[in-house]
Amino acid sequence: MDRVARALAITAQHRFSRRELVPKRLQSMPPVASITPTITLGERNGASQIVSSVHITAANISTGELNPVYRYNGDPQRAGASYPDNGFVRNTAVTTTSANGNLIVEFSHFGASFEIYEKGQNGKYRMAVDEGDGYKYVALDAQSMAPADGGVYNRLINFGSVKSRGIRIEISNSFFGGVRIGPNDTIYPTVVPQRPRAIFVGDSFTEGGSSGAAMSHSYSAVASYLLGWDGWNSGVGGTGYVNNGPAGRVKFQDRLQHDVLQYRPDVVVVAGGINDEGFPVEQTQAAADLLYSTIRSSLPDTELIIISNFSPVGGVSQIRGQIRDALRETARKYGAPFIDTLAGASYDWNGNPVSQPSGSWITGSGNVGNPQSSGNASVFTSADGTHPTPAGHQYLGERVAAEIFKIYAG
């Protein structure tokens, strides 16, 4: 299936109305399992650890056609035409040359063990297993994938007992090459109801790759899970409404067609502005106006939600507050709900308050490398003084989900 056909297939979905976008109650994140499989990484370019194993490839190595046994979020395509990349897929729905992409892969497996086929790229992964009572994480934190040596590896996941299990693998900054199973095992598609597709456009906060947090459990992924959304991530570090960021990355407007419009999501969430503080506020507001108007005109049936610029510490500088005010004004112009993380307030489509200001989501001036006696920044801000810790991403995701729920369920 070529890229155009793939995009058409992705967009051939039920359209969710505004009233269908949020569940009756927020979902809960999966807990950590009390009994977990034994996990063993094989040798570089080594043989399978399963006797007479069968490789269930992610895509046909000749044609690139995706294997329908796997369900993804994002737009996976064959990673390359030659070995070993022709045996892997990567998410092509994000415009950047700075990362290998991230995917969430779901499938069902009957057997006692399987292997994840990996390329050595120093990525991260997190796995959840459903043994009939809902997904449970094998470990809460992201785990390291094969080292960045370009080799191929088989990672054995051994449960010790034969059973049908649902498998969810969250992969960050790495390709996915399918799995190997035993000769008498079975792999089959998971039964997952269609969910509203939400694409988050943002900077490194949305990307979630900082502080050891895999992109697949950034705040946007957490919020999507709690809201029951199929969350896609167009977060690219260093970018903004005006700022293109480092080489190989582009500002929000310049990746809008590729990352968002062609996939016709039910929801677009835009969060940014911290990287635009070196530009005149008027320039940022003009860029926001163009971005929101393009989304509105191109996707008239899509919900647009704006999140203010994030702040890594509780204090709000003058320029940060000015950017927030400009984004709020522009969001109201286009009838988009606005979530103000700096003041702790949210507004509906008409600019009416949904929640009264409760103060900045991040308080205090510390970080995990320099904790202070007060303020949650000492827990939620990493040692670089800017980006969220994994706990910070969890917290921000919960706050975002709660505000969106208030707006749409009220």
- pLDDT tens for residues 18-73? 989 999 999 999 999 999 999 999 999 999 999 999 999 999 999 999 999 999 98
Residues 63, 204 within the same domain: no
Residues 212, 342: one domain? yes
Give the pLDDT band (50/70/90) at residue 4.
very low
Using alpha carbons, select from 52, 241, 41, 66 the residue that is nearest to residue 149.
41
321 and 361 in a single domain? The answer is yes
Residue 20 lies in a domain: no
Q: Report yes or no on whether pTM surpasses 0.85.
A: yes
Residue 382 counted as domain residue: yes
Which run of H or E residues covers position 402?
helix 390-409
End-to-end CA distance of the chain: 42
| CATH number where 250 lies | 3.40.50.1110
How many domains in the chain?
Answer: 2
CB 144, CB 169: distance < 8 Å: no
Residue 374 lies in a domain: yes
Which residues span the domain enclosing 45? 37-188
Same domain, 62 and 164: yes
pLDDT, tens digit (0-9, with 9 covering 90-100), for 239-290: 999 999 999 999 999 999 999 999 999 999 999 999 999 999 999 999 999 9
Element (H, E) at 169: strand 152-172
Own/partner contacts of 314-322, CB < 8 Å, gap of 24 or more, are 314/359, 314/360, 314/362, 314/363, 314/364, 314/365, 314/375, 314/377, 315/360, 315/365, 316/342, 316/343, 316/360, 317/277, 319/277, 319/281, 320/273, 320/274, 320/277, 322/281
Q: Are residues 142 and 165 in the same domain?
A: yes
- The residue type of 8 is L
